């Protein structure tokens, strides 16, 4: 991932040093468990552990130098480890294994830890959303459908629905974690021809992974599920970002992203204050969805394996992890510093002179005995006249002889508190969230 959207936490997980350190631990654990099975001399297994090289930048450099000869990364890694351990113990490194036993188990180990990072970030985002929803539980604003004023709602109710969706994304990420937290040490085509199943079981337990049946590779639907969880989370973040972008438009002006001292919104226009965080999140979500397509295409492989998936997932798995982690944390920062203009929300709510209560008026007229279609046409005409003339909708209604409802009934129809009395259902649902 380019540095702009990376983070030290994710970079550390997918660095070459971290990857090879996982490979080394898998190799050593297998050697020790083979000793427990009586396949490897216990003294040799102990020597492998005692003489194992430190995996640092110099070690990675030696592996890369060796790979220029072998043209195979795991073979090069094994050669360098065996040389460091020395004979005769080093000969038992990689005994009975195929390269993907080590690579796939190591990758699943990394993805498990990556999922934990993402879930932690999602939990922090949830906290910010819940706090904001409760803060604005009574903040009235206009609800919009098709981008057009519809009926009143509250800003808190809007945010509560975002929080509930983020929680579902967190559940999807936890499910994806379970799907990828697996281990495969069953040899060239997955038949345990040279590795006892008990070794796989015990190594998996050491690593906190679950042994699964496989061919030469772990089935890639697991990795696709992880990418789906990333893409779903990113799409939810974009959903929130798009709404915030619309609400920040000059003509709406109901929210604004925080603006730091010294910040510039435009290199040319000093007055500009743009929703740059939300726009960045919108853009990066497109990358996540594109990466998901790669993950799905990596599922169908030839026979017991090929490597058409390998090159692609070296990019999309770390990059998707980096992106969704970055986007989640950036959204948390955006919401924590969000400026909410409650006065502008009320002004926009009243912008159309009260026609947003048209459904309440319609129902009052139906309750008074008018046929629904007849009532609809009357209310529709009165609403259009109020908008065109800039006249309060209620005044237009009371001046139309076809409107026979009482003043008290109109009071109820135009009562904002009545309209919003149950709008907090979504906020109440936040009580069930777990942190």
pLDDT, one tens digit per residue, over 151-176 is 999 999 999 999 999 999 999 999 99
pLDDT at residue number 370: 95
pLDDT reading at 282 higher than 90: yes
1-95 CATH: 1.10.275.10
Write down the catalytic residue from 68, 146, 271, 303: 146
pLDDT at residue number 24: 98
Average pLDDT over residues 174-192: 97
Name the burial class of residue 36, with classes exposed (0-12), middle (13-18) and buried (19+) by CB atoms within 10 angstroms of its CB. Answer: middle
Average pLDDT over residues 190-199: 96
CA atoms within 13 A on the CB side of 418: 10
pLDDT reading at 402 higher than 90: yes
Q: Which residue in the block uniquely carries the two structure tokens 């830890």? A: 113
DSSP string computed for 227-285? HHHHHHHHHHHHHHHHHHHHHHSTTT-SEE----TT--S-SS-TT----HHHHHHHHHH
Q: pLDDT tens digits for 200-233?
A: 999 999 999 999 999 999 999 999 999 999 999 9
Q: pLDDT tens digits for 25-72?
A: 999 999 999 999 999 999 999 999 999 999 999 999 999 999 999 999
- Whole-structure pTM value: 0.95
CA distances in angstroms from 356 to 202, 367, 368, 401, listed in the order given: 66, 19, 20, 21
- Cα–Cα distance between 348 and 251 in angstroms, integer? 10
Average pLDDT over residues 397-422: 95
Q: pLDDT tens digits for 337-374?
A: 999 999 999 999 999 999 999 999 999 999 999 999 99
User: 433: pLDDT confidence band, cut at 50, 70 and 90?
Assistant: very high
CA atoms within 13 A on the CB side of 234: 29
182-183/210-211 β-pairing? parallel
* CATH architecture classification, 97-349+420-435: Up-down Bundle (1.20)
Q: Is 266 a catalytic residue?
A: yes
pLDDT at residue number 244: 98
**Which of 187, 191, 254, 184 has the alpha carbon at shortest distance from 218?**
184
Give the DSSP H or E segment for 388: helix 372-389
Helix (H, G, I), strand (E, B) or coil at 36: helix
pLDDT at residue number 389: 96
Q: Domain map of the chain by residue range?
A: 1-95, 97-349+420-435, 355-413
pLDDT reading at 15 higher than 90: yes
pLDDT at residue number 6: 95
Write down the catalytic residue from 51, 171, 193, 266: 266
pLDDT reading at 1 higher than 90: no
170: tokens are 């967190």
């Amino acid at each position: 991932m380019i540095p702009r959207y990376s983070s030290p936490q994710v970079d550390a997980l997918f660095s070459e040093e971290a990857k090879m350190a996982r490979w080394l631990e898998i190799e050593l654990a297998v050697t020790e468990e083979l000793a427990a099975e009586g396949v490897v001399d216990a003294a040799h297994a102990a020597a492998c552990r005692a003489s194992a090289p430190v995996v640092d930048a110099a070690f990675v450099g030696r592996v890369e130098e060796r790979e220029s000869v072998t043209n195979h990364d795991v073979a090069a890694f094994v050669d360098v480890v065996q040389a460091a351990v020395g004979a005769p113990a080093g000969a038992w490194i990689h005994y009975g294994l195929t390269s993907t036993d080590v690579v796939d188990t190591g990758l699943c180990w990394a993805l498990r830890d990556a999922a934990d990072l993402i879930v932690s970030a999602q939990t922090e985002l949830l906290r910010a959303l819940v706090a904001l929803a409760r803060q604005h539980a009574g903040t009235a604003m206009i609800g919009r459908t098709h981008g057009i004023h519809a009926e009143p709602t509250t800003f808190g109710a809007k945010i509560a629905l975002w929080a509930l969706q983020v929680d579902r994304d967190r559940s999807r990420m936890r499910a994806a974690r379970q799907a990828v937290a697996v281990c495969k040490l069953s040899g060239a085509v997955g038949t345990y021809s040279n590795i006892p199943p008990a070794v796989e079981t015990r190594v998996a337990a050491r690593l906190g992974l679950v042994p699964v049946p496989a061919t030469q590779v772990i089935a890639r639907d697991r990795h696709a599920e992880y990418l789906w969880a990333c893409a779903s989370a990113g799409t939810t973040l974009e959903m929130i970002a798009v709404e915030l972008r619309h609400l920040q438009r000059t003509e709406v002006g109901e929210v604004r992203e925080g603006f730091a001292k010294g910040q510039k919104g435009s290199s040319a226009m000093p007055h500009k204050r743009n929703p740059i965080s939300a726009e960045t999140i919108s853009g990066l979500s497109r990358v996540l969805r594109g990466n998901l397509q790669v993950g799905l295409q990596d599922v169908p492989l030839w026979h017991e394996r090929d490597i058409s998936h390998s090159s692609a997932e070296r990019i999309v798995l770390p990059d998707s992890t980096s992106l969704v982690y970055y986007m989640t944390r950036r959204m948390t920062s955006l919401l924590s510093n969000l400026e909410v203009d409650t006065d502008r929300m009320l002004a926009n709510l009243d912008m159309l002179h009260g026609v947003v209560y048209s459904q309440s008026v319609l129902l009052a007229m139906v309750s008074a005995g008018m046929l629904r279609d007849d009532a609809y046409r009357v209310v529709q005409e009165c609403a259009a006249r109020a908008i065109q003339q800039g006249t309060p909708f209620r005044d237009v209604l009371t001046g139309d002889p076809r409107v026979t409802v009482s003043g008290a009934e109109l009071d109820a129809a135009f009562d904002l508190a009545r309209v919003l009395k149950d709008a907090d259902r979504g906020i109440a649902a936040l009580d069930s969230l777990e942190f």
